[in-house]
């Protein structure tokens, strides 16, 4: 059963509040050393679109889509979003794919674009680049991402909004995978053939057989791996 639209709207509102009350205050000392005045505006959108958009001199708009929140209640769909894939690939929140982790990282990801925009580092065809991930890595390493997650979990609990996947893929035991074997998984809607490098406590490190992927290797939950026959 899909999540209630009003529930998703409320959760998207919590993401707005987390961005405004947790992330935005933390960059004020940095902004104070820069020329001009910067204003952050967060809003809830009706669709899936979740994005950063500069609006006039020093105004930065973040939109969190209500349908984006709804889609992330499905674990398989959550993993297909860039933010879900980043949790696994870059080991954010220890590679945990859960609804609180996905939602918190969505805030961090979008706020990374705000900082990217303030710095003037956004150009056509070069958005999710090395500079962008330096920003997002710093948000996680500083502990700000964990603060965002705790804020979201606290606010959702206070409003009686459970943050639990509605559809969860069946787990594939880690013991089923071994270094050197071929596996496949989906990345941005496309199948990827990869070789297992290492089996960790909760995830599997795999190296794509096809070159020129987004990363040299991926750290992936066994939920999303299948044996290549």
In a domain, 166, yes or no: no
Quick check: 170 pLDDT over 60? Answer: no
Number of structural domains found in the chain: 2
Considering the domain architecture, whether residues 133 and 194 belong to the same structural domain is answered as no
Kindly provide the residue ranges of all beta strands, DSSP E only, lying in the chain, ordered along the sequence. Answer: 39-45, 51-54, 59-65, 182-187, 190-199, 204-208, 218-220, 226-227
Quick check: 134 pLDDT over 60? Answer: yes
Considering the domain architecture, whether residues 42 and 113 belong to the same structural domain is answered as yes
- DSSP codes joined into one string, 80-113: HSHHHHHHHHS-GGGG---HHHHHHHHHHHHHHH
Residue 57: is it exposed, middle or buried by C-beta count within 10 angstroms (0-12/13-18/19+)? Answer: exposed
Quick check: 44 pLDDT over 70? Answer: yes
Range of the domain at 138: 5-158
Considering the domain architecture, whether residues 35 and 131 belong to the same structural domain is answered as yes
Considering the domain architecture, whether residues 131 and 189 belong to the same structural domain is answered as no
Q: State what percent of residues in the chain have pLDDT above 70.
A: 90
Quick check: 159 pLDDT over 80? Answer: yes
In a domain, 83, yes or no: yes
Considering the domain architecture, whether residues 71 and 44 belong to the same structural domain is answered as yes
Evaluate whether 138 touches 47 at the Cβ level (below 8 Å): no
In a domain, 133, yes or no: yes
If one counts every other C-beta atom within 10 angstroms of the C-beta of residue 149, the result is 22
Considering the domain architecture, whether residues 69 and 125 belong to the same structural domain is answered as yes
Considering the domain architecture, whether residues 138 and 223 belong to the same structural domain is answered as no
Q: What is the mean pLDDT of residues 112-119?
A: 95
- How much is the pLDDT for 149? 98
In a domain, 165, yes or no: no
Q: Could you tell me which residues come within 8 angstroms of residue 56 by beta carbon, excluding any fewer than 6 positions away?
A: none
User: For 62-113, how does the pLDDT look when each residue is reduced to its tens digit (9 = 90+)?
Assistant: 999 999 999 999 887 888 788 988 998 898 998 888 999 999 999 999 999 9
Q: What is the CATH number of the domain that holds 208?
A: 2.30.30
Quick check: 202 pLDDT over 80? Answer: no
In a domain, 168, yes or no: no
In a domain, 164, yes or no: no
Considering the domain architecture, whether residues 47 and 125 belong to the same structural domain is answered as yes
In the structure, what pLDDT confidence band is assigned to residue 30 with cuts at 50, 70 and 90?
A: very high
Q: What is the mean pLDDT of residues 147-171?
A: 87
Considering the domain architecture, whether residues 94 and 53 belong to the same structural domain is answered as yes
- How much is the pLDDT for 172? 53
Considering the domain architecture, whether residues 11 and 55 belong to the same structural domain is answered as yes
Considering the domain architecture, whether residues 179 and 99 belong to the same structural domain is answered as no
Angle (CA) 71-18-159 rounded to 5° is 70
- How much is the pLDDT for 147? 98
Q: What is the mean pLDDT of the chain?
A: 88
Considering the domain architecture, whether residues 101 and 15 belong to the same structural domain is answered as yes
């Amino acid at each position: 059963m899909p999540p209630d639209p009003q529930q998703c709207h409320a959760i998207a509102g919590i993401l707005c509040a987390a961005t405004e009350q947790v992330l935005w205050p933390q960059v004020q000392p940095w902004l104070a050393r820069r020329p001009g005045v910067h204003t952050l505006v967060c809003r809830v959108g009706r669709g899936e679109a979740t994005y950063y958009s500069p609006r006039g001199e020093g105004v930065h708009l973040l939109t969190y889509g209500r349908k984006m929140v709804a889609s992330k209640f499905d674990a398989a769909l959550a993993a297909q979003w860039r933010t879900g894939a980043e949790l696994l690939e870059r080991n954010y929140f220890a590679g945990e794919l859960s609804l609180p982790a996905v939602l918190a990282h969505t805030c961090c990801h979008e706020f990374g674009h705000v900082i990217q925009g303030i710095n003037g580092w956004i150009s056509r065809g070069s958005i999710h680049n090395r500079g962008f991930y330096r920003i997002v890595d710093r948000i996680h390493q500083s502990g700000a991402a964990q603060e965002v997650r705790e804020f979201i979990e606290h606010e959702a609990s206070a409003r009686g909004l459970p943050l639990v996947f509605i559809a969860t893929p069946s787990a594939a035991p880690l013991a089923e995978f071994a270094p050197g074997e071929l596996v496949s998984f989906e990345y941005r809607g496309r199948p990827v053939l990869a070789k297992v490098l290492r089996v960790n406590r909760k995830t599997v490190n795999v190296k794509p057989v096809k070159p020129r992927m987004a990363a040299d290797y991926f750290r992936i939950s066994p939920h999303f791996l299948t044996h290549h026959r």
